[in-house]
Structure formats: structure tokens, C-alpha cells
Amino acid sequence: MVGNMDAMSRLDPTRPFLPVRIAVLTVSDTRVLETDTSGALLVQRIAAAGHHLADRAIEPDDADRIAARLAGWIADPAIDAVISTGGTGVTGRDVTPEAFERVLEKRIEGFGELFRMLSYQKIGTSTIQSRALAGVANGTYLFALPGSSGAVKDGWDDILVWQLDSRHRPCNFVELMPRLREHLEPAHD
């Protein structure tokens, strides 16, 4: 937990905490709400960090349905971020990254790279099978995590809890939120 202690020391107590409205999507052909342990873990961590659960859904491993759910949430001004769990592997049914690509305007390349680096410290070369990714669309952050509880813990505890905290220094995703839609606003002379 050395990394977490270092991250904690980067919280500026003079800055206010700004809760983020987060939707959680579980991608699975077999899970239902009662058996969705990874989604439940994510929901618990979101609440414990002081954020708001904006919505929660489970979609099968179907790129059209995943993209449609994402598009609906992206269009909803009451949702600031979406975190998905599942469907990021390399098998034929793993289509979450392909669905994300349909809706993303910009990728956050470092998210997947950092996730795999941190995951490597825990599961070694098996992390290469993860296609975790992140990006932005219409001012909404999108994060795709693998479906295991361990991956959800790694993604949230080691990256997202800090980047979604407005007090984190030297920078965080929250402070950029007001500017994510700049390209959609009319130009000023």
C-alpha cells in the first residue's frame, strides 16, 4: 500500500471535495444484480469515497447494447462518469473496448497503461490479457475495467479513487470536468 500512502499525501486539505455522479455498468452474459460481485464492489467503493451512484445496469456481451447504454448515459447531464466492469479480455465475446470505441471522442491512453502496470505487480504477465481503457465523450468520463473483483479493486483503489478526487494534487480528472465540453461550445471572437 505504499502507492496509496503516497497518493494520500497528495490530497490538498484546503480544497473542497466535489462528489462525482457515477454510473456503473457490468458487462456479462451470466450475471444478474444478485450475483454481480464486481459491480457491487464498485458501487460500495464509490459510496465510501463520497461519490453518488447515478445509475447501475447489467448488459450482455453485445457491442450494440453496450454502446447504446453508454450513449444514453453520455447524453444524460446527471452523469459525470461511467465505470464498466467486464468484457475487456481477448475472447470472442469480449467486446467492451469495441463498444467504447463507438462512443469515445478522446482516449485517455495512460489509464490502460497505468492499470496494466499496477496489475502486473499483482498478477504478473497475465495482465497482458486486459484491454482496460478510458476516454471522454460529450463531457463524460468513461472507464472500462476487467470483470474480476481484483481488477475492480486495482482500478478503483489505485487509480480512480484518486483521479476522481478534486483534492488530489498535482492534478485530477474532476478539475477538468468544466472544460471537457469546450469543443462543443460556440467559438468566441
pLDDT in tens, 14-46: 999 999 999 999 999 999 999 999 999 999 999
Range of 69's domain?
24-164
Stronger pLDDT, 5 or 21, i.e. the higher one: 21
4 pLDDT higher than 90: no
The verdict on residue 122 lying in a domain is yes
The verdict on residue 182 lying in a domain is no
Q: What percent of the chain has pLDDT over 70?
A: 95
Q: Average model confidence (pLDDT) for the chain?
A: 94
The verdict on residue 101 lying in a domain is yes
pLDDT in tens, 48-91: 999 999 999 999 999 999 999 999 999 999 999 999 999 999 99
What per-residue confidence (pLDDT) applies to 5?
60
What per-residue confidence (pLDDT) applies to 6?
73
pLDDT in tens, 93-138: 999 999 999 999 999 999 999 999 999 999 999 999 999 999 999 9
SS3 per residue for 57-122:
EEECCCHHHHHHHHHHHHHCCCCCEEEEECCCCCCCCCCHHHHHHHHCCEECHHHHHHHHHHHHHH
The verdict on residue 8 lying in a domain is no
- Kind plus residue range of the DSSP H or E element containing 155: helix 149-155
The verdict on residue 178 lying in a domain is no
CA distance 138 to 65: 19
Strand partners, 168: 11
- Kind plus residue range of the DSSP H or E element containing 154: helix 149-155
Given pLDDT bands bounded at 50, 70 and 90, which one contains residue 181? confident
The verdict on residue 6 lying in a domain is no
Residue 67's CATH number: 3.40.980.10
Q: Average pLDDT for residues 156-170, to the nearest whole number? A: 97
The verdict on residue 148 lying in a domain is yes
Whole-structure pTM value: 0.93
User: How far is C-alpha 143 from the chain's CA centre?
Assistant: 3
The verdict on residue 85 lying in a domain is yes
Domain count, the chain: 1
